[in-house]
């Protein structure tokens, strides 16, 4: 492969790895809580990575970028990306692959306060995801629609939508989905002054959150929300306990705004419990927290809470001074502005400046009426009654009292209706819960019956399986026993055959020297031959041949005995074969001996060293007998990861393929082989084979490139 091709391959692999990591970058970006930092992270992703990614990954990347622009208030930049995606030829208005884009479009309209568009888009999304059966996306679209309804003041529409999903027993909702729906339900209930039911769903939401391994900030938020409900219901002790919990979580997160809010709410709880010094202390601490990050509105809020408590401990002048300053700073905050006006009216009622008290009370009444704050209207009217009574304007006081009566009647009527609706809803929910419990009990009974039936079937199957296994094992053992008997019989037959063959071969081999010896003795006895030195040598040679044959037969018989044991020791390979080479140089002095060794110095292996030396002695003896002089001998020692490899080869003459196959047989000699010195008994290589097999090694014979025979010995290491 040339350099150019290598570069192309590396580039291809690089692009492939880049494309495969884009989703990882998107997931990493989601973990960055600071949206400015998240924006930097996303915009710094390599352009090649984005361009080479799949269509789905690129779409997901752009949706993440839109979310970041929305959180940063960059609505036009977000809209530009949306329009760019919608202008693509691939874009469809009803495709599941664009689900996240449909959701983020509605989120963009909601965040830009285009509530009518947000409602319309969210309604389309709910219908589309229902049709496509994308349940998770459907719930997200419902949550988005509920938020849009809430901000548009369509609280009942939000409740009607949520009840379809919350009370649908056939719909399986995840914990996260339940948390979102309960949150939306309680928010909209609060706006309709259905405070008790709102609190009930807040408590349910907390139960769900506690099963989700929630973050500290989420736990702080739900505790604060529940505490606010208790405060609205004037259950001050419970509210105080929850706000203390929320404050503990806030201190862990380090959010100054949240810490200050929890402190102000604790001040309000202490005010409700008439613990005015404690209330002032909480409000002063909150004031310091808000001032530390220059929050003018929240600092004024804390000051207002200080003022109302000062009023209760007979420090009206200080309270009045604080509230006048708060009034200047809070003209843009209607809710708190009304509270300050009412406090100022109350302060001036305690003085002689009745007109000033009347002025603030009338302002508070008109603003409360405009914002439909019934409770604030009643308090303002009560202040006006007090002022007019002090001014002896009883006719006007009566008019104010009638207005209060009408408001209280309307308020009582609304409360009654709301409470009745809450009770009816609560009863309906209890009925549904009981029905669900009954269904669960029935399901449990059915499940138990099915489980018992399955267990019985399982036991039967298990018992049957055990019986089959027992029968299988028995049959397998019978089969194995038959195979073993067959193997033993074959082995015995083979041994008998080999013994018969060996006896026949031994008889044949012994008959030659015995016949020659007998003929020499008969000729000597008949006087046909003189007994001299030559005759003696011939007779001695015949006897020596028979003795050598008997000795070799005894050696091979010993090796074949089942009681034969090797004297195994561990020897160093390099040292052993170097010593063997030195011995070969002495024994094969008329041969050209080549020795090659490529093994590690520390390599060792296990063997019977005496038998191994006998093995090589027989190979050398074979070469001396059959190799033409002067001859060549090559000995090569090498190794791989698991084996020691030994190659011994000699020069011509060679042997035929037929003889190679029989070269390790007992008493086999290559026919018509002209030797330099003398023929052998055919036992030497058979002994070599027996030594190899006794060690569980392996040896093969092949034609040598030198012209003779090559022996390859393999030893496990």
- Residue 314 inside a domain? The answer is no
Name the 3-class secondary structure at 679: coil
Residues 206, 150, single domain; the answer is yes
- Residue 84 inside a domain? The answer is yes
Of 102-111, 228-237, 353-362, 634-643, the least confident:
353-362
Of 141-155, 319-333, 555-569, the least confident:
555-569
Residues 80, 121, single domain; the answer is no
Quote the CA–CA distance of 309 and 274 in Å, as a whole number.
9
Average pLDDT, the chain: 83
What CATH number does the domain containing 586 carry?
Answer: 3.30.565.10
pLDDT, tens only, 216-225: 989 999 999 9
Q: In the listed set 168, 189, 212, which residue is the last one of a domain according to the structure?
A: 212
The predicted structure's pLDDT at residue 686: 84
**One-character DSSP codes across 89-140:** TT--TT-GGGHHHHHHHHHHHHHTT-HHHHHHHHHHHHHHHHHHT-HHHHHH
How many CB atoms lie under 10 A from the CB of residue 174? Answer: 13
pLDDT band at 526 (very low <50, low <70, confident <90, very high): confident
Is the pLDDT confidence value at 506 over 50?
A: yes
Is the pLDDT confidence value at 358 over 60?
A: yes
Strand partners, 712: 647, 700
Q: Which residue has the tokens 């005995």?
A: 561
The predicted structure's pLDDT at residue 560: 58
Task: Compute the average pLDDT of residues 26-45.
Answer: 85
- Residue 465 inside a domain? The answer is no
Residues 575, 551, single domain; the answer is no
pLDDT band at 259 (very low <50, low <70, confident <90, very high): very high
Number of folded domains in the chain?
6
Of 157-171, 409-423, 701-715, the least confident:
409-423
Closest CA to 194 of 404, 390, 416, 433: 416
Six-digit token pair at 506? 């031994």
pLDDT band at 301 (very low <50, low <70, confident <90, very high): confident
The predicted structure's pLDDT at residue 17: 43
Residues 208, 223, single domain; the answer is no
The predicted structure's pLDDT at residue 3: 46
Is the pLDDT confidence value at 635 over 90?
A: yes
562: which residues sit within 8 A by CB, 6+ positions away? none
pLDDT band at 422 (very low <50, low <70, confident <90, very high): low
- Residue 460 inside a domain? The answer is no
- Residue 203 inside a domain? The answer is yes
Give CA angle at 380 (377, 386), nearest 5°.
Answer: 140
- Residue 274 inside a domain? The answer is yes
pLDDT, tens only, 310-350: 988 888 888 888 888 887 776 656 667 788 888 888 877 87
Is the peptide bond prior to 342 cis by the omega test (within 30 degrees of 0)?
no
Pure H helices in 20-54: 22-30, 35-43, 47-52
pLDDT band at 7 (very low <50, low <70, confident <90, very high): very low
Give CA angle at 8 (7, 11), nearest 5°.
Answer: 85
Quote the CA–CA distance of 372 and 407 in Å, as a whole number.
11
Name the 3-class secondary structure at 634: strand
pLDDT, tens only, 671-680: 655 544 455 5
This prediction has a pTM of 0.51
Quote the CA–CA distance of 65 and 59 in Å, as a whole number.
10
Under 8 Å between Cβ of 85 and 62: yes
Instruction: Write the DSSP symbol of residue 628.
Output: P
Six-digit token pair at 447? 């499940």
Q: Could you tell me whether strands 698-703 and 632-639 are parallel, antiparallel, or unpaired per DSSP bridges?
A: unpaired
Quote the CA–CA distance of 183 and 177 in Å, as a whole number.
10
Through-space distance between the first and last CA atoms of the chain, rounded to whole angstroms? 39
Is the pLDDT confidence value at 182 over 90?
A: yes
Residues 608, 484, single domain; the answer is no
pLDDT > 70: what percent of the chain? 84
Is the pLDDT confidence value at 428 over 90?
A: no
Q: What are the φ/ψ torsions at residue 542 (nearest 5 degrees)?
A: -65, -45
pLDDT band at 357 (very low <50, low <70, confident <90, very high): confident
pLDDT band at 521 (very low <50, low <70, confident <90, very high): confident
- Residue 471 inside a domain? The answer is no
The predicted structure's pLDDT at residue 697: 93
Residues 581, 709, single domain; the answer is yes
Cα distances from 284 to residues 266, 300, 301, 347, in angstroms, run 11, 11, 11, 21
Residues 365, 410, single domain; the answer is yes
Which domain, by its residues, includes 610?
569-716
């Amino acid at each position: 492969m040339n350099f150019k091709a290598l570069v192309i391959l590396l580039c291809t692999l690089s692009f492939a790895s880049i494309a495969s990591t884009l989703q990882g970058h998107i997931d990493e970006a989601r973990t960055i809580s600071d949206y400015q930092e998240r924006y930097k992270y996303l915009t710094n992703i390599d352009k090649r990575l984005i361009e080479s990614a799949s269509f789905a990954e690129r779409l997901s990347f752009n949706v993440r970028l839109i979310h970041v622009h929305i959180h940063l208030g960059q609505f036009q930049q977000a809209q530009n990306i949306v329009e760019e995606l919608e202008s693509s030829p691939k874009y469809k208005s009803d495709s599941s692959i664009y689900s996240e884009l449909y959701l983020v479009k509605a989120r963009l309209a909601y965040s830009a306060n285009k509530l009518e568009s947000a409602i319309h888009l969210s309604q389309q999304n709910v219908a589309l995801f229902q049709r496509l059966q994308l349940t998770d996306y459907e719930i997200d679209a419902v949550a988005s629609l509920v938020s849009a309804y809430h901000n548009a003041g369509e609280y009942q529409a939000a409740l009607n939508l949520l009840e379809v999903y919350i009370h649908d027993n056939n719909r399986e909702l995840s914990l996260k989905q339940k948390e979102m729906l309960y949150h939306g339900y309680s928010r909209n209930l609060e706006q309709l002054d259905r405070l008790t039911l709102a609190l009930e769903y807040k408590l349910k939401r907390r139960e769900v959150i506690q099963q989700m391994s929630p973050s500290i900030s989420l736990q702080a938020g739900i505790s604060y929300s529940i505490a606010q409900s208790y405060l609205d219901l004037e259950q001050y002790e419970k509210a105080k306990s929850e706000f203390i919990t929320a404050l503990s979580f806030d201190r862990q997160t380090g959010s100054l705004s949240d810490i200050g809010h929890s402190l102000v709410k604790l001040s309000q709880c202490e005010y409700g419990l008439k613990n005015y010094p404690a209330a002032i202390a909480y409000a002063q601490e909150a004031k310091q927290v808000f001032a530390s990050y220059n929050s003018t509105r929240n600092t004024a809020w804390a000051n207002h809470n200080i003022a109302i408590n000062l009023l209760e401990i007979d420090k009206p002048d200080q309270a009045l001074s604080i509230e006048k300053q708060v009034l200047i700073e809070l003209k843009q905050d209607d809710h708190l502005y009304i509270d300050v006006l009412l406090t100022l009216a109350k302060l001036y009622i305690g003085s002689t400046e009745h007109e000033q008290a009347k002025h603030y009370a009338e302002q508070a009444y008109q603003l409360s009426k405009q914002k439909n704050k019934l409770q604030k209207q009643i308090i303002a009217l009560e202040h006006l009654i007090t002022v007019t009574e002090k001014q002896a304007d009883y006719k006007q006081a009566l008019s104010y009292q009638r207005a209060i009566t009408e408001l209280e009647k309307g308020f009582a009527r609304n409360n009654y209706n709301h409470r009745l609706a809450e009770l009816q809803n609560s009863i309906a929910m209890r009925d549904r819960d009981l029905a669900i419990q009954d269904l669960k009990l029935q399901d449990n009974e059915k499940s138990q019956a099915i489980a018992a039936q399955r267990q019985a079937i399982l036991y039967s199957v298990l018992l049957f399986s055990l019986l089959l296994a027992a029968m299988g094992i028995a049959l397998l053992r019978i089969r194995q026993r038959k195979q073993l008997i067959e193997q033993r019989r074959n082995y015995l037959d083979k041994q008998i055959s080999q013994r018969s063959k060996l006896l026949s071969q031994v008889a044949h081999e012994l008959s030659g020297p015995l016949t020659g010896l007998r003929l020499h003795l008969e000729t000597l006895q008949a006087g046909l031959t003189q007994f001299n030195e030559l005759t003696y040598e011939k007779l001695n040679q015949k006897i020596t041949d028979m003795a050598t044959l008997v000795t070799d037969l005894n050696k091979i018989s010993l090796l074949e005995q089942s009681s034969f044991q090797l004297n195994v020791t561990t020897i160093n390979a390099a040292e052993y074969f170097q010593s063997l080479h030195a011995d070969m140089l002495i024994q094969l002095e008329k041969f050209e001996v080549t020795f090659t060794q490529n093994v590690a110095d520390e390599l060792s292996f296990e063997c019977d060293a005496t038998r191994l030396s006998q093995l090589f002695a027989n190979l050398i003896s074979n070469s001396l007998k059959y190799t033409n002089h002067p001859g060549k001998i090559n000995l090569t020692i090498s190794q791989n990861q698991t084996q020691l490899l030994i190659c011994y080869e000699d020069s011509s003459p060679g042997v035929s393929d037929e003889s190679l196959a029989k070269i390790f047989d007992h008493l086999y000699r290559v026919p018509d082989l002209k030797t330099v010195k003398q023929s052998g008994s055919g036992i030497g290589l058979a002994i070599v084979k027996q030594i190899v097999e006794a060690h569980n090694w392996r040896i093969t014979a092949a034609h040598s490139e030198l012209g003779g025979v090559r022996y390859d010995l393999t030893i496990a290491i």
